[in-house]
A = this chain, B = another copy of it.
Amino acid sequence: MKIAILGAGQLGRMLALAGIPLGLEFSFLDPSERPCAAALGKHVRADYIDAAAIESLTSGATVVTTEFENVPAEAMRLAGRSAPAFPTAQILSMTQDRVSEKALFQRLGIPTAAYMAINSRERLENFASLGPCIVKTRRLGYDGKGQYRVREPADVAGAWTLLGAGPLIAEEWLQFDREISIIAVRGRDGSLAFYPVSENEHRNGVLVLARSRLDDPIQPLAEDHARRIMAELGYVGVMAVEFFQRGNALLANEIAPRVHNTGHWTIEGALTSQFENHLRALLGLPLGSTAVHRHSAMVNCLGIMPDRATVLRVPGAHLHDYRKLPMPGRKVGHITCTGETDEQVTALLNQIIHTTGVGARGDSLIKHGKQ
In the bound complex, what is the Cα–Cα distance between A44 and B340 (angstroms)?
44
Partner of A323, one of B23, B284, B291: B23
User: Are A312 and B289 in touch, CB under 8 angstroms?
Assistant: no
Closest B residue, CB atoms, query A13: B20
How many interface residues does A have (CB within 8 Å)? 36
Known A-B contacts A39-B25, A291-B316; A285 and B309 likewise in contact (beta carbons under 8 Å): yes
In the bound complex, what is the Cα–Cα distance between A316 and B286 (angstroms)?
11
Binding site for B on A (CB under 8 A): 13, 17, 20-23, 25, 39-41, 271-272, 280, 284-286, 288-289, 291, 293-294, 305, 308-309, 312-313, 315-316, 318-321, 323, 333, 338, 340
Between A17, A25, A333, the greatest number of chain B beta carbons within 10 A of the residue's beta carbon is seen for A17
User: Are B22 and A308 in touch, CB under 8 angstroms?
Assistant: yes
Closest B residue, CB atoms, query A267: B21
In the bound complex, what is the Cα–Cα distance between A305 and B312 (angstroms)?
35
User: Are B21 and A320 in touch, CB under 8 angstroms?
Assistant: yes
User: Are A305 and B17 in touch, CB under 8 angstroms?
Assistant: no
Q: Across the interface, which residues of B come within 8 angstroms of A309, CB to CB? A: 284-286
Chain B nearest CB: distance from A218 CB in Å?
A: 25
User: Are A23 and B286 in touch, CB under 8 angstroms?
Assistant: no
Closest B residue, CB atoms, query A317: B288
Chain B nearest CB: distance from A269 CB in Å?
A: 12
Which 6 A-B pairs have CB atoms at the shortest separation, nearest pair first?
A23-B321, A286-B313, A21-B320, A289-B315, A286-B312, A271-B316
Chain B nearest CB: distance from A210 CB in Å?
A: 17
Q: Across the interface, which residues of B come within 8 angstroms of A285, CB to CB? A: 308-309, 312
In the bound complex, what is the Cα–Cα distance between A320 and B312 (angstroms)?
26
In the bound complex, what is the Cα–Cα distance between A25 and B315 (angstroms)?
24
Q: Across the interface, which residues of B come within 8 angstroms of A23, CB to CB? A: 305, 308, 319, 321, 323, 333
Selected A-B contacts with CB under 8 Å, 20 pairs:
A17-B17, A21-B318, A21-B319, A21-B321, A22-B319, A23-B305, A23-B319, A23-B321, A39-B40, A40-B40, A271-B315, A271-B338, A285-B309, A285-B312, A286-B309, A286-B313, A288-B312, A288-B316, A291-B316, A293-B293
